Amino acid sequence: MTSRTCLSVILAAGEGTRMKSAMPKVLHPVAGLPMVAHVVKAAEASGADAIALVVGHGADAMRKAAEKLAPEADIFVQEKRLGTAHAVLAARAAIARGHDDILVMYGDTPLIDADVLLTAREKLANGAAVVVIGFRTDRPTGYGRLIEKDGKLAAIREEKDCTDEERRITYCNSGIMAMAGNHALALLDAVGNANAKGEYYLTDIVEIARAKGLDVVATEASFENALGINNRAELAAAEAIWQARRRRAAMLDGVTLIAPETVFFSYDTEIGPDTLVEPNVVFGPGVKIGSNVTVRGFSHFEQADVADGCQVGPYARLRPGAKLQEDVHVGNFVEVKNTTVERGAKANHLAYLGDGRVGAGANIGAGTIFCNYDGYRKFFTDIGAGAFVGSNSSLVAPVAIGDRAYVASGSVITEDVPEDALAFGRARQKTIPGKGKELRERFADAAKNKRSG
């Protein structure tokens, strides 16, 4: 099986006008990843060693995006939209390279399952020339129907070409098809366009292969494999299915989700066992959470790395480049960006830690701000191990606080503080005995005179 080579042809020429978007349909994200990239990932997970992306005419945005999200893919342009077989043939040059297995999928079906593709490849390895992935539904309208004779797949009939009787069939074509590489071009080239839509139907290769005496099989999979996205309501529905699967997987992997339906993962979220996630938490792309972490409610993560034993939130925001080492505490209304917080350090309330380092065991008081930006450039704030930054301090970067140094509350620190030093960056307090009483009397008199006057 693994010795067989495999080309995956992904049809991504869909216009997607129903998305009402300036962006090509297949680039809309599910779980933070463009839907076509989900399809590419599934293909790769099933062992595809080459990817051919078929895009529509003039799809420059698509081409640019594809270079990023599937850099190894060959991109082919289908100049005119003449049907699914015609679209597959846009990748003729790739197919002609002689892969053992050819998988055809659609770029707008983000929930496609790699196991289903593997099953199709196994059937090719066992001698089938064409494998069709089917699904059963009570609402087959719009799908091609799988016509079986003597327990074998005889044809796929498009809705518009069906007889009334055929239209009642509930076994449908998912759109995923696998072909033996040595037959693929001959089958595709034999497809004509004499049908209700005047299109070159990929589905016609079933009858063509049967007529040649080749082995054609259908295999059933779940409906999600065929779930194509045409508008943003369907996009949200796919997202919901994806999230439900991911939450369940996280829980089965040992993560406690108190209210799973309120926790949102990204395609690449990593999260360790014995981590507890409270309600209303969002994991954006690029997040890695260790084990034994407590993520309290309403926290938001993006490209952040949280090591074992940390406590985060409630209401914490970890932005790109936030790195919390073991046992760090980051509390409510603390924002961390591009900053490493070393082992055991604490920033428990109301702080902005941007472009810096917080040394091991340091304590960041409430209201501490790393003033990292002068309107043009960003600067670094370095806090030494065991340092104590008093509440409501502004650290004007670039600035360094030495190990074990103290910064007095309310300071504006503009110069480096050596280790073990104490720095005040504020006016000294002045206390005048009796002056409070005198003021109070003066104000009371003024108010009385105003009322009587």
- Please, what sign has the CA dihedral across residues 137, 140, 144, 149? positive
Q: In angstroms, what is the minimal distance from the CB of 215 to ligand UD1?
A: 20
Nearer to Ca ion, 83 or 181 (CB): 83
Beta-sheet pairing, 145-149 with 152-157 = antiparallel
The C-alpha atoms of residue 316 and residue 359 are separated, in whole angstroms, by 20
The C-alpha atoms of residue 264 and residue 300 are separated, in whole angstroms, by 10
Nearer to ligand UD1, 2 or 141 (CB): 141
As a dihedral over the C-alpha atoms of residue 45, residue 47, residue 48, residue 49, rounded to 10 degrees, the angle is 110
Span of 66-74, 195-203, 260-268, 419-427 interacting with ligand UD1 by CB under 6 A: 195-203
Number of residues that bind Ca ion (CB under 5 A): 1
Q: Given candidates 202, 205, 206, 353, which one binds ligand UD1 under the rule CB under 6 A?
A: 202
Lay out the site mask for ligand UD1 across 175-194 (x = CB under 6 A, - = otherwise).
Answer: x-------------------
Lay out the site mask for ligand UD1 across 233-262 (x = CB under 6 A, - = otherwise).
Answer: ------------------------------
Nearer to Ca ion, 34 or 175 (CB): 175
CB 323 within 8 A of CB 340: yes
- For residue 57, indicate whether it is catalytic: no
Cis ω for the linkage preceding 398 (within 30 of 0): yes
> Is 83 among the residues that bind ligand UD1 (CB under 6 A)?
yes
Residue 173 contact among ligand UD1, Ca ion, none, beta carbon within 5 to 8 Å by kind: ligand UD1
Q: In angstroms, what is the minimal distance from the CB of 371 to ligand UD1?
A: 51
Q: Given candidates 9, 19, 53, 87, which one binds ligand UD1 under the rule CB under 6 A?
A: 87
Element (H, E) at 209: helix 205-211
Q: Which residues touch 343 (CB under 8 Å, ≥6 apart)?
A: 325, 326, 327, 328, 360, 361
Number of residues that bind ligand UD1 (CB under 6 A): 26
Q: In angstroms, what is the minimal distance from the CB of 32 to ligand UD1?
A: 21
Residue 38 contact among Ca ion, ligand UD1, none, beta carbon within 5 to 8 Å by kind: none
Q: Given candidates 24, 32, 47, 144, which one binds ligand UD1 under the rule CB under 6 A?
A: 144
Q: In angstroms, what is the minimal distance from the CB of 15 to Ca ion?
A: 11
Q: In angstroms, what is the minimal distance from the CB of 365 to ligand UD1?
A: 56
Q: Which residues touch 313 (CB under 8 Å, ≥6 apart)?
A: 278, 281, 295, 296, 297, 298, 299, 330, 331, 332
The C-alpha atoms of residue 292 and residue 385 are separated, in whole angstroms, by 24
SS3 351: strand
Note the residues at the interface with Ca ion (CB under 5 A). Answer: 228
Which positions are annotated as active-site residues?
A: 349
